[in-house]
Amino acid sequence: MQKYSVFSLIKNAFSNHQNWEVAWKDPTPKSEYDVVIIGGGGHGLATAYYLAKEHNIRNVAIIEKGWIGGGNVGRNTTIIRSNFMYDANARFNEFGMDLWRNLSQELNFNVMFSPRGIINLAHSDAQMNAYARRGNSMRLNGIDAKLLDRDEVKKLIPMADFSDEVRFPIFGGLMQPSAGTARHDAVAWGYARQADDMGVDIIQHCEVTGFDVVNGKIKGIRTSRGDIKAKKVGLCVAGSTNILAEKLNMTLPIETHVLQACVSEPVKPLLDGVVTFGAGHFYISQSDKGEMVMGGDLDGYNSYAQRGNLPTIQHVLTGGLALFPFLSRLKMLRTWGGIMDMSMDGSPIIDKTHIEGLYLNCGWCYGGFKSTPVSGWTFAHTIAQDKVHELNSELRLNRFSTGHLLDEKGLGTKTWIG
Amino acid sequence: MLYIKCPYCGLRAQKEFSYGGDATVKRPNINEEVPSEDWDNFVYMRKSPRGKHIELWQHIAGCRQWIKVQRDTATHEIFQTAKVTEEIR
């Protein structure tokens, strides 16, 4: 594989950039693989990469209905954080932060990981207390957390509304300085390029139509490009998990909902990190291009449409305007939607299933992007070793029936609220 | 914007309603021994189909009644609405 560097860039400039190698091949599916990963999003590509790199399993195929990185890894708001209170979520995502920090070097692809910090704003004394508790929990798990008072927040985001008339005055906030953003597409492409180089077949425009399960054991999958035998199959299709689960006669603790995001026209550097509003559901960061990247609530009803409705955008931006009045002067460039696996406790599922050789990676709600590396890493371990790793030992499917929920937000089973 | 025909008030904008989830989920009978698997299915497990979906909405900014709506989850088309005591087939 051609190594990307400043020298290869200069060399290729002499041939007008016409002679770059293709980053990944377009193979025809073989009749049999050791492992088939369904879903060529960030998590699927990362899983294939870590299967090859960490477990030396290289006879692997990624089956993708559309094109790689065309789903939620290409639709998210690129936020990376590990500011969780529960131990299981905190340890899992902090391990992921370590993977992020070295990802560009490891993949030889600039994923533009930029640890510029995230501030969760508090608008009442009670919220400050809750954040102090969460911050302490984070620090006990070795995650950096800083409780900011009003003046400290004002120094960091002076453009927020600090006047006396606001309905939800800013009391302070909880900051994770090591959180940040990354270039989402580059994550998918970087993993794809390395996985392809290690022998993984990336098969695009190939839809899974069924599964061959014999005596409770997976034998292969049926696709729009023919049957493929597989010793092990991993499902990595957040957003479409329920559709494939139905083909397997499985019912999961997941509802599928649409989440929208939007960006404004690009402006000069204004906002350094990520900021979330504590009195409504709204979060914002500024991309390297200068666009304000914003998101918030789900549309609030089951949906498989990768687009949403205007009332939700209006509602989210009403919260945004309450926090940052300057937004009223910006034009919106575009809005889009992605479909989410909303699990019943807001935490993901990475586990084996009752079918031998079938593994499940789903339920990411709208926080899947930040976990891309650690999700792939633990899912690869679960598939290769046929057992869960310590890191995903609490992210299991049976936690709903045993009562060991990871309800980080304490919202219960109303997924459309969370 | 969705437009939902409330069986009591007529066609109204989505903003007047709030969502209540899958209407086909049945609560286990009261005063009976309920296996934990049934509770599990009732509380957590959802089919969440792509296509026709019967769901509950509440006309929160109107008559405040709960209603049933049959809607396509891929196209958002609404086929039928009914009072919560009525069946949608």
* Residues A174 and A144: beta-carbon distance below 8 Å: no
Distance from CA of A309 to the nearest CA of B (A): 5
CB proximity A225 to B under 8 Å: no
Integer Cα distance of A289 and A268 in angstroms:
9
Nearest Cα neighbor of A416 from A333, A312, A320, A322 is A312
Residue-wise pLDDT for A290-347, tens only, equals 999 999 999 999 999 988 899 999 999 999 999 999 999 999 999 999 999 999 999 9
Integer Cα distance of A346 and A301 in angstroms:
16
- In this structure, is residue A354 part of a structural domain? yes
Interchain proximity A246–B47, CB inside 8 Å: yes
- In this structure, is residue A290 part of a structural domain? yes
- In this structure, is residue A415 part of a structural domain? no
Residue-wise pLDDT for B31-84, tens only, equals 999 999 999 999 999 999 999 999 999 999 999 999 999 999 999 999 999 999
Same domain, A243 and A372: yes
Q: How does the average pLDDT of chain A come out, rounded?
A: 96
Same domain, A153 and A285: yes
The sign of the CA dihedral A299, A302, A303, A304 is positive
Interchain proximity A253–B74, CB inside 8 Å: no
Interchain proximity A256–B48, CB inside 8 Å: yes
Same domain, A189 and A338: no
* Residues A159 and A271: beta-carbon distance below 8 Å: yes
At residue A411, the pLDDT reads: 81
Nearest Cα neighbor of A330 from A394, A286, A384, A299 is A286
Interchain proximity A302–B53, CB inside 8 Å: yes
Residue-wise pLDDT for A350-408, tens only, equals 999 999 999 999 999 989 999 999 999 999 999 999 999 999 999 999 999 999 999 98
Chain B positions in Cβ-Cβ contact with residue A253 (cut-off 8 Å):
44-46
Q: Which domains does chain B have, with CATH numbers?
A: 3-83 (3.30.2270.10)
CB proximity B68 to A under 8 Å: no
Chain A positions in Cβ-Cβ contact with residue B71 (cut-off 8 Å):
301
Tell me A114's DSSP state: B
Helix, strand, or coil (residue A378): helix
Same domain, A294 and A304: yes
Same domain, A98 and A223: yes
Same domain, A338 and A355: no
SS3 labels along A188-200: HHHHHHHHHHCCC
Interchain proximity A251–B47, CB inside 8 Å: yes
Query: Would you state the structure tokens that stand for residue A314, as one six-digit string?
Result: 């209006």
Chain A positions in Cβ-Cβ contact with residue B50 (cut-off 8 Å):
242-243, 256, 304
Residue A20 CB neighbours (<10 A)? 12
- Sheet of B52-58, strand order: B18-22, B52-58, B66-72, B78-83
CA-based nearest residue in chain A for residue B13: A311
Last residue of a domain, one of A308, A325, A342: A342
- Among A301, A365, A399, A404, pick the best mutation site for testing chain B contact (most B Cβ within 10 A): A301
Chain B positions in Cβ-Cβ contact with residue A304 (cut-off 8 Å):
50, 73-74
For chain A, the domain total comes to: 2
Helix, strand, or coil (residue A58): coil
At residue A418, the pLDDT reads: 60
Instruction: Taking residues A228-237, report their average pLDDT.
Output: 98
Question: Can you give the CATH number for the domain in which A174 is found?
Answer: 3.30.9.10
Instruction: Taking residues A148-157, report their average pLDDT.
Output: 97
Chain A positions in Cβ-Cβ contact with residue B25 (cut-off 8 Å):
none
At residue A155, the pLDDT reads: 97
- Establish, for the pair of chains A and B, how many residue pairs have beta carbons separated by less than 8 Å: 71
Nearest Cα neighbor of A338 from A313, A362, A307 is A307
How would residue A412 be classed by pLDDT, with cut points 50, 70 and 90?
confident
Helix, strand, or coil (residue A290): coil
Question: Can you give the CATH number for the domain in which A214 is found?
Answer: 3.50.50.60
Same domain, A286 and A296: yes
Same domain, A273 and A225: no
CA-based nearest residue in chain A for residue B72: A303
Interchain proximity B40–A305, CB inside 8 Å: no
Integer Cα distance of A148 and A275 in angstroms:
13
CA-based nearest residue in chain B for residue A343: B44
Interchain proximity A400–B46, CB inside 8 Å: no
CB proximity B3 to A under 8 Å: no
- In this structure, is residue A102 part of a structural domain? yes
Same domain, A260 and A338: yes
Domain that holds residue A264: 118-181+256-342
CB proximity A344 to B under 8 Å: yes
- In this structure, is residue A38 part of a structural domain? yes
Helix, strand, or coil (residue A281): coil
Closest to A243 (Cβ–Cβ): which among B15, B50, B55? B50
Chain B positions in Cβ-Cβ contact with residue A416 (cut-off 8 Å):
19, 21
| CB neighbour list of residue A82: distance below 8 Å, 6 or more residues apart | A90, A93, A94, A96, A97, A138, A143, A176, A178, A179, A370
- In this structure, is residue A134 part of a structural domain? yes
Please report the beta strands in B1-88, taking only residues with DSSP state E, as ranges in sequence order. 3-6, 10-13, 18-22, 52-58, 66-72, 78-83
Chain A positions in Cβ-Cβ contact with residue B1 (cut-off 8 Å):
309-311
- In this structure, is residue A132 part of a structural domain? yes
For residue A417, is pLDDT > 80? no
For residue B30, is pLDDT > 90? no
pTM of the model: 0.96
- In this structure, is residue A411 part of a structural domain? no
CB proximity A310 to B under 8 Å: yes
Same domain, A188 and A97: yes
Query: Would you state the structure tokens that stand for residue A206, as one six-digit string?
Result: 């190939």
Query: Would you state the structure tokens that stand for residue A400, as one six-digit string?
Result: 């709903």
Q: Which amino acid is at A131?
A: Y
Same domain, A352 and A386: yes
Interchain proximity A246–B73, CB inside 8 Å: no
Give A354: exposed, middle or buried? Use CB within 10 Å, 0-12, 13-18, 19+: exposed
Same domain, A162 and A268: yes
Residue-wise pLDDT for A18-71, tens only, equals 999 999 999 999 999 999 999 999 999 999 999 999 999 999 999 999 999 999
B:4-33 residues touching chain A, CB 8 A cutoff: 13-15, 18-19, 21-22
